[in-house]
Amino acid sequence: MKFSKKIEETQILRWHSDERVVFDYKDEIRPMIEVVPKWYKEIKRWVELGDNDIKPFDKNTGELDKWPTVKHCLPFFDGITTGYALVLTENIYVEQTLNGPVIRWQDNGKNRIAPVSSRPPYATDPMPAPVGYAKEHFIWQKQMVVKPPEGYSILYTHPLNRFDLPFFTVSAVVDDYIMPGANISFYIKDDFEGEILAGTPVAQLIPYKREEWKAVKDKNVLIESEHSRAPMKKLILEGWYRKNVWKKKTYR
């Protein structure tokens, strides 16, 4: 897959043995906006508050009788829709055994490289596994090429805010390098057994421009923040952030 600022060309190269085949990019990589989880779509935009509920208070307008849900939080929305999703191209099945989780998949007849492999524990020792996940260290084995523009890097990470997924993908950063293959580490929840369906996002790819940064202390920033703070009614009920701050992002 080749990234450009305008995303003018997008393709995936995947190979088996010495044979290279070009596939449509939607086979393995999709814009994150296309894999928004069902639970997010089902969240209501407003929660009506009853007489006995604690109501948010705005010093300018008094109590509010309804409360916005996460559907009003555009920073949250940006988190789950920024960049691209690396998705499973076949169903995999996780079985819990006395020796830890075992992952199987069914050959779909496309002569693919195995979608999952494992890495010996000494490759990460003494790095701890995430709490609640099996210690076995697995690999999403995606045979493809991703090329960002010169001067850009890509953050590979677990799909943001996707705590519902039965695995946890480890984060990594790759610079502007045409790297054949994308082997990304992950862990399986220690209480999960079942099927993970094709189309499930297993990693989020966020391209960004490399720049030098330096953090400095500036107490004026706090003062500026106090002056720019919008009243709660405007911020919550009138969509102040969306109208005055938020910038639309596009990934195709």
High-pLDDT (> 90) share of the chain, %: 33
Q: What is the pLDDT averaged over residues 39-65?
A: 72
| Phi, psi (deg, nearest 5) at residue 236 | -95, -50
Over 90: is that where the pLDDT of 41 sits? yes
Q: Which two tokens stand for residue 127?
A: 């790095």
Q: What is the rounded CA–CA span in Å between residue 233 and residue 60?
A: 8
Bridge partners of residue 174, in order along the sequence: 154
The residues that bridge with 164 in the sheet, in sequence order, are: none
pLDDT score at 205? 93
Q: Residue 231 burial by CB count (10 A; 0-12/13-18/19+): exposed, middle or buried?
A: middle
pLDDT exceeds cutoff 50 at 55:
yes
252 domain-assigned = no
Structure-token pair, residue 186? 């992950």
Is pLDDT at 140 greater than 70 in this prediction?
yes
Residue 17 within a domain: yes
pLDDT at 118 (0 to 100): 84
Residue 25 has pLDDT above 70, yes or no: no
- Domain of 55? 1-247
Domain membership flag for residue 72: yes
Q: Distance between the two ends of the chain, CA-based, in angstroms?
A: 12
- Between 138 and 178, whose confidence is greater? 138
Residue 66 lies in a domain: yes
| In contact, 32 and 9? CB cutoff 8 Å | no
Tell me if 197 is assigned to some domain.
yes
- Between 157 and 21, the more confident residue is 157
**Residue indicated by tokens 């107490």:** 219
Q: Which two tokens stand for residue 202?
A: 């297993």
Global pTM exceeds 0.85: no
pLDDT category at 175 given cuts 50, 70, 90 is confident
Mean pLDDT of the chain: 79
Our count of domains for the chain comes to 1
Q: With 70 as the cut, is the pLDDT of residue 145 above it?
A: yes
What's the pLDDT at 81?
Answer: 97
On whether the CB atoms of residues 87 and 28 are closer than 8 A, the answer is yes
Confidence check: pLDDT of 45 > 50: yes
Q: How far apart are CA 87 and CA 95, in angstroms?
A: 21
**Structure tokens that stand for 217 in this block:** 């202390």
3-state secondary structure of 179: strand
pLDDT mean over 116-135? 86
Kindly report which listed range (53-62, 85-94, 150-159, 193-202) carries the lowest average pLDDT score: 53-62
Indicate if the pLDDT at residue 251 is higher than 50.
yes
The conformational region for residue 208 under phi > 0 = left, psi -120 to 50 = alpha, else beta, is beta
Q: For the chain, what is the radius of gyration of the CA atoms?
A: 22
Q: Is the pLDDT score of 173 beyond 60?
A: yes
